[in-house]
């Protein structure tokens, strides 16, 4: 099927998922929409996150997408079930794939989760983990400084190291976790700093690979995989600073992104009704 796959996020973090999707599904065309103007979503109220998420969804539905990937943990926690019920296309999030990957890697069933305030408050990861194995012990920590840091392109150096170290200190004092879920798609952009701070004995998990695998399986099941040998031309849209977006995107992808446009979302319908 020649229809594109839509990927939405609160900002640039979902590019970590988009890159893995493109790697596993090289024939598919992707349209990425990052709401960088209103990022971060984590501190916002649930209803506002749902409203913003629906605005992005309505924008992408006009592009006749065949699948929607919610590459934002906060939006996944608050809107996944609603979107799956309301839309006629497959909708997948990043929380359940991340939970499965963590359980696969953990040996002592003690798993840590770092994310935005909204994701941690929602208890979406503990619920997803315990729905698979009720004996899993979970420690969550909200990390408010991380998303603004990544959105501003502070991905390494002394300042980034200081922020990561001070933010993660409470988690290091918790129970003896052996696996840590990066419960925000911005966090893989600073994965090296997180790994260094937590120690090499901790398995650090991001959901991109599992999410991409799930997308591939669902498309195959519905006979929706793209055919032919045409190289797809991906499109990227942002609601905020285009140069900051381009800087982060170009540092994350192997080749510079070609199509990047600025859009406004406020006039799009903000709910399913």
User: Which residues sit in the known binding site?
Assistant: 9-10, 41-42, 73-74, 185-186
Binding residues for substrate: 9-10, 41-42, 73-74, 185-186
Q: Which of 120, 108, 106, 132 is nearest to 205 (CA)?
A: 106
CA distances from 57 to 62, 84, 97 (A): 9, 12, 21
72 is catalytic: yes
- The catalytic position among 68, 72, 114, 193 is 72
* Residue of 184, 204, 226, 265 marked catalytic: 184
Which residues belong to the active site? Answer: 72, 184
């Amino acid at each position: 099927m020649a229809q594109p796959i839509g990927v939405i996020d609160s900002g640039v973090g979902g590019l970590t998922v988009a890159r893995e999707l493109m790697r596993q599904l090289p024939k598919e065309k992707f349209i990425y929409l990052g709401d960088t103007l209103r990022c971060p979503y984590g501190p916002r109220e649930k209803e506002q996150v749902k409203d913003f998420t629906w605005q992005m969804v309505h924008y992408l539905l006009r592009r006749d997408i065949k699948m929607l990937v919610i590459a934002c943990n906060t939006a996944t926690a608050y809107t996944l079930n609603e979107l799956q019920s309301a839309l006629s296309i497959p909708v997948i999030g990043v929380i359940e794939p991340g939970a499965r990957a963590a359980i696969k890697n953990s040996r002592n069933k003690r798993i840590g989760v770092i994310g935005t305030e909204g994701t941690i408050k929602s208890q979406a990861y503990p619920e997803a983990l315990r729905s698979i194995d009720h004996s899993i012990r979970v420690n969550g920590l909200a990390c408010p400084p991380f998303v603004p840091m990544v959105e501003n392109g502070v991905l390494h150096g002394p300042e980034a190291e200081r922020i990561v170290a001070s933010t993660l200190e409470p988690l290091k004092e918790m129970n003896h976790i052996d696996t840590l879920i990066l419960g925000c798609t911005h966090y893989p952009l600073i994965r090296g700093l997180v790994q260094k701070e937590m120690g090499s004995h901790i398995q650090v998990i991001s959901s991109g690979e599992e999410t991409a695998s799930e997308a591939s399986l669902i498309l195959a099941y519905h006979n929706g995989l793209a055919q032919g040998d045409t190289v797809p031309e991906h499109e990227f849209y942002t609601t905020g600073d285009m140069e900051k977006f381009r800087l982060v995107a170009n540092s994350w992808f192997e080749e510079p992104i070609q199509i990047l446009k600025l859009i406004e979302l406020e006039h799009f319908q903000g709910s399913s009704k």
